[in-house]
Chain A
Amino acid sequence: MSLGKRVLLAEDEARLARMISYKLEHEGFEVVLAVNGSEAVDLCLNRELDVAVLDVMMPVMDGFQVLRRVKASKPSLPVILLSARSREQDIDYGMELGASFYLTKPFKPGELVECLNRCMEA
């Protein structure tokens, strides 16, 4: 089901990005990496993507800002937020901006895969 689906992963922590990429590629996704918010916006708007995974706390532009930009021009692209911020207000804010899922760190790689698959089904 996930075969050949292209995922944007915006995560500034290199080792975390590597761990997630490994898992997603193992599950058959193609992963495109962004290391900050503005790169993520560029890739979201200019590349063919099936889903975007955004870290909330990123340099240049945070995940919420990226999400707002992306939803303004590509509302159909599903977005999953990753964050260490687990306060209700942060989660509500992310969902109000249009995120499909909000995963709080630490999450298990399998949980992210499940969210991705549910985005593909929808």
Chain B
Amino acid sequence: MRISATPERCFEKTMAKEKLERILRHSFMGNAKNLINILLSINDGVYLTDRERRIVFWNRAAEVITGYSADEVMHHFCSEDILSHTDHEGNSLCQSGLCPLNQSMLWGVPGTKPLAILARHRDGSQLAVEVSVAPLVDDKGDVIGGVEVFRDVTEKRELEEAKARFLSGVTHELRTPITVITGYLEMMMEGDAGEISEDQESFLTDCLAEVQRLEKLINDLLDLARFEATEFSVRFQIMNLAPILERVVKGYAAEAEKKGLELELHAPPIDILGDPDRLQQAFANLVANAIKYTSAGKVSVDAGVDDGWAVVGVRDTGMGMDEGELQRIFEPFYRVDDESTRSLEGSGIGLSIVRRIVESHSGEIEAESRRGEGSVFTIRLPLTPLDTMRSLEGGEGP
């Protein structure tokens, strides 16, 4: 039994696309001025390039956001000093081969999910932008250029960072008092502060249980806050998957050993455009789950490249799931719960966080399992986050 968290694109969309193409053809045939007016009036930066990425159109919002007038940029390569798209470490995307616009033209597929990267204003200041890209084709379907739409999210990003700082402060504020209370309770119960009566011990035991309940609630709330933050705090950079996976596996080595499980990793170097913090979180959640639900055998993590995709599989020999459970595991707060796992900690949002992270990279996640026969979770990430429409479009790539 397999289940994919990413819904398949359906035929209705193809139908709608045919209709739209007809409408566009009727509206704009012989009157490109209408189309140009539409592009000019859009409040996001929009520019069009030829196949070599020379700018042939630059709208007003692009002028406002970047400080460059259309006259200044026309016929220049967009990869030159005009936009200076970089990842969040300052590495140039134009020169890396992972440029979204170039990838989009190369593969003939759009990337309409906004990609959060950095750009530079004419005055040298840094801009946080979200870009969407698509190839432009001629009557025969050959790629003749590209379009990029970009939105200035600098203010949004600053707000988001302030929120993250606040969250980290709150974490500290909540965890310190709990440490003090738990510490004293444990010390009193162990007799560190003198002998206690039986009644006192039972009262302290209740106190400790309630503090632990509070602690779990706080952890769940923090998970939830982090879960909501995953929506828009993805920071793309050029990164190698292998060291991230090594770190995750190393981090869980002790826990696996404690349960007597083998923990294996096979990962060659794979460069992708992704968010290393978020992806590490996703892989860590999968490995943690695999260890949690496996009592004997092994957990193995395998990575590889498959036709423009990085593929990472996490396989375990654990208790597995039946079909009903498998249908629900990506829902927030759902837990595979039975007698044997009731004591296991967790709020049940680990896998839904993984799904969000994978989707923010335009990737796919799939789970395969059978009760009693272990589970395999497979994450597929496009090397550059473009829409996963390749099969539908019939784009073959280079």
Contact = CB atoms under 8 A, between A and B. Distances in A.
Interface string B173-195: 01110111011101100101100
Nearest to A92: B247
Given A13-B176, A23-B192, A106-B175, A88 B284 contact: yes
7 contacts: A16-B180, A20-B183, A23-B183, A84-B174, A105-B175, A106-B179, A106-B182
Interface string B248-277: 100100000000000000000000000001
Interface string A105-120: 1111110000000000
Given A57-B172, A108-B186, A109-B187, A19 B180 contact: yes
Given A26-B192, A105-B179, A106-B179, A88 B251 contact: yes
A110 B185 CA distance: 12
Give the interface SS of chain A, mostly helix, strand, loop or mixed.
helix
Interface residues of A, number: 21
B172 A84 contact: yes
Contacts of A109: 183, 186-187
B172 A106 contact: no
A15 B180 contact: yes
A105 B171 CA distance: 10
A72 to B, nearest CB: 25
B366 interface: no
Contacts of A26: 187, 192
Contacts of B187: 19, 22-23, 26, 109
Contacts of A16: 176, 179-180, 183
Contact of A84 (B176, B183, B248): B176
A73 interface: no
Given A26-B187, A109-B187, 19 more contacts: A13-B180, A16-B179, A19-B179, A22-B193, A23-B187, A23-B192, A84-B171, A84-B175, A84-B176, A85-B168, A85-B171, A85-B172, A88-B248, A88-B280, A91-B251, A105-B178, A106-B179, A107-B179, A109-B186
Nearest to A23: B187
A46 interface: no
A41 B230 CA distance: 37
Interface in B197-245: 215
Contacts of B172: 57, 84-85
Interface of A: 13, 15-16, 19-20, 22-23, 26, 57, 84-85, 88-89, 91-92, 105-110
Give the interface SS of chain B, mostly helix, strand, loop or mixed.
helix
A105 B176 contact: yes
Nearest to B169: A57
A108 B171 contact: no
B281 interface: yes
Shortest 9 CB-CB contacts between residues of A and residues of B: A84-B175, A106-B179, A105-B175, A84-B172, A106-B178, A19-B183, A105-B179, A109-B183, A26-B192
Nearest to B215: A106
A88 B186 contact: no
B249 to A, nearest CB: 12
A116 to B, nearest CB: 15
B278 to A, nearest CB: 11
Nearest to B250: A92
Contacts of B281: 88
A23 B186 CA distance: 10
A107 B179 CA distance: 6
A26 B184 CA distance: 13
A19 B187 CA distance: 9
A15 B182 CA distance: 12
Contacts of A106: 175, 178-179, 182, 215
A15 B176 CA distance: 9
A82 to B, nearest CB: 9
A22 B194 CA distance: 13
Interface in B357-380: none
Contact of A89 (B176, B186, B277): B277
A88 B285 CA distance: 11
A105 B247 CA distance: 22
A100 to B, nearest CB: 14
A97 B364 CA distance: 36
A19 B184 contact: yes
A88 B247 CA distance: 9
B280 to A, nearest CB: 6
A108 B284 contact: no
A85 B165 CA distance: 12
Nearest to A17: B180
Interface in B29-64: none
